[in-house]
Amino acid sequence: MANTPDRVRVRLSEISPRAYEHPADRGALVALRSLRGFDEVFKRLSGLFNERALRLMFLSSSVRVGPTQFPHVYDYVRDAAYVLDMDEVPELYIQMNPRPNAMAIGSQRPFIVMTTGLFELLDAEEQRFVIGHEVGHILSGHAVYRTMLLALIQLAARVAWVPLGFLGIQAIVAALEEWYRKSELSCDRAGILASQDPEAGKRALMKMAGGSKLVEMNPDAFLEQAREYESGGDARDGLLKLLSLVGQTHPFAVVRLAELHRWIEEGSYQRILNGDYPRRSSDRDAKVGEEARNAAKSYKEAWARSGDPLLGTLRDVAGSAASAGGKVFDTVADRWRNGSSRGNQGSNGSS
């Protein structure tokens, strides 16, 4: 397929990350963002992971992309930031590492790292997709939480000899890993919105699973793998699937491709390109309870697509939890807002 790096892409002015975020990812983030000061606390905790030292490490041992170093990749970063209407163009570093990987990390000034293993695996349009994916992480605020996850994983290793402390941190890490797997599905969507080449996104995901010999692979056959994986076998297979996710921050490649294909086919991608998407100015009006219900509904729909008997037993639980969980979030949010309102009135009265 010919690359079209110079074609015009639609700029998604003031696009809110809610436009592309997976319901389970969005539900968690809206709940976190609804708590006054939470992001600031999280950023302070992320000080466990020294961002200044991290940036210096990549500055000294990698190549920073710019107008005179990997200029075409620099254009891809600028294009992604432009299409997703970001105020700043994030830094990107190319790191010598044969393992294909890319990540957005940092809290104050998040930046992107791409390994040579991934860079050399992909063609130009596939690189655009991956860069758009990472820019999506930054726009959604994921880089802050990913940095925290990395810090907690390191901390868990240090306190492994303290049973209760280790178990408590592991529980938080497991929850963050589940959220992060859903955030990857969100940013696959951001990747194709930035590149506006869905086929390049699909090719990139296939290459991450099977390597560079794309001529030997077939998208339809790969989707059939995803359907076979989702349909499961017996309860033992369901248990093995759950266990295989332990320690994983990324969904498996067939799952990512199937989710991206499903999102495109249902029309969401084209609606956004047509201008039908939430703007950032409306982010503060997002309802925590509604997002919690959407998240639970998303899990229920995913389980409904599966023929796995183990997941089937969880379906009804998710249905009732969707309503109950949403009501709980609504109540908490209302109390928080009312409490803040009373606090503000008191402050105004005493000034």
Q: How far apart are CA 340 and CA 351, in angstroms?
A: 17
180: domain range? Answer: 17-286
pLDDT band at 139 (very low <50, low <70, confident <90, very high): very high
Q: Does residue 106 lie in a domain region?
A: yes
Indicate if the alpha-carbon torsion angle 44, 45, 46, 47 is positive or negative. Answer: positive
pLDDT score, position 180 = 75
Indicate if the alpha-carbon torsion angle 302, 28, 82, 120 is positive or negative. Answer: negative
Higher pLDDT, 333 or 46: 46
Q: How far apart are CA 204 and CA 237, in angstroms?
A: 28
pLDDT score, position 301 = 55
Q: Does residue 52 lie in a domain region?
A: yes
Mean pLDDT over 80-86 rounds to 97
Q: Does residue 158 lie in a domain region?
A: yes
Q: How far apart are CA 20 and CA 190, in angstroms?
A: 6
pLDDT band at 290 (very low <50, low <70, confident <90, very high): low
Mean pLDDT over 180-186 rounds to 86
pLDDT score, position 263 = 94
pLDDT score, position 75 = 97
Going by C-alpha positions, the residue among 118, 140, 139, 117 that lies closest to residue 130 is 118
pLDDT score, position 47 = 53
pLDDT band at 269 (very low <50, low <70, confident <90, very high): very high
Q: Does residue 270 lie in a domain region?
A: yes
User: DSSP letters of 86-122?
Assistant: -SSPPPEEEE--SS--EEEE-SSS-EEEEEHHHHTTS
Higher pLDDT, 319 or 94: 94
pLDDT band at 310 (very low <50, low <70, confident <90, very high): very low
What pTM was computed for the model? 0.73
Q: Mean pLDDT check: name the lowest of 112-126, 244-258, 259-273.
A: 244-258
Q: Does residue 300 lie in a domain region?
A: no
pLDDT band at 327 (very low <50, low <70, confident <90, very high): very low
- Residue 168 pLDDT exceeds 80: no
Q: Does residue 59 lie in a domain region?
A: yes
Is the distance from CB of 176 to CB of 152 less than 8 angstroms? Answer: yes
The helix/strand/coil state of 35 is coil
pLDDT band at 348 (very low <50, low <70, confident <90, very high): very low
pLDDT score, position 14 = 96
- Residue 89 pLDDT exceeds 90: yes
Q: What is the mean pLDDT of the chain?
A: 75
- Residue 256 pLDDT exceeds 60: yes
Q: Does residue 302 lie in a domain region?
A: no
Question: What percentage of the chain carries pLDDT values higher than 90?
Answer: 42
pLDDT score, position 239 = 55
Q: Does residue 135 lie in a domain region?
A: yes
Q: Does an H or E element contain 275, and which?
A: none
Q: Mean pLDDT check: name the lowest of 90-99, 145-154, 232-241, 260-269.
A: 232-241
Contacts of residue 143, Cβ cutoff 8 Å, sequence gap at least 6 = 104, 105, 106, 107, 110, 137
- Residue 345 pLDDT exceeds 90: no
Q: How far apart are CA 184 and CA 190, in angstroms?
A: 10
Q: Mean pLDDT check: name the lowest of 6-10, 112-116, 274-278, 347-351.
A: 347-351
Mean pLDDT over 164-177 rounds to 57
pLDDT band at 10 (very low <50, low <70, confident <90, very high): very high
Both structure tokens of 85: 């209407």
Higher pLDDT, 299 or 71: 71
Q: Mean pLDDT check: name the lowest of 3-12, 114-123, 269-278.
A: 3-12
pLDDT band at 166 (very low <50, low <70, confident <90, very high): very low
pLDDT tens-digit readout, 48-73: 557 778 889 999 999 999 999 999 99
Higher pLDDT, 333 or 141: 141
Going by C-alpha positions, the residue among 283, 284, 282, 295 that lies closest to residue 326 is 295
Domains held by the chain: number: 1
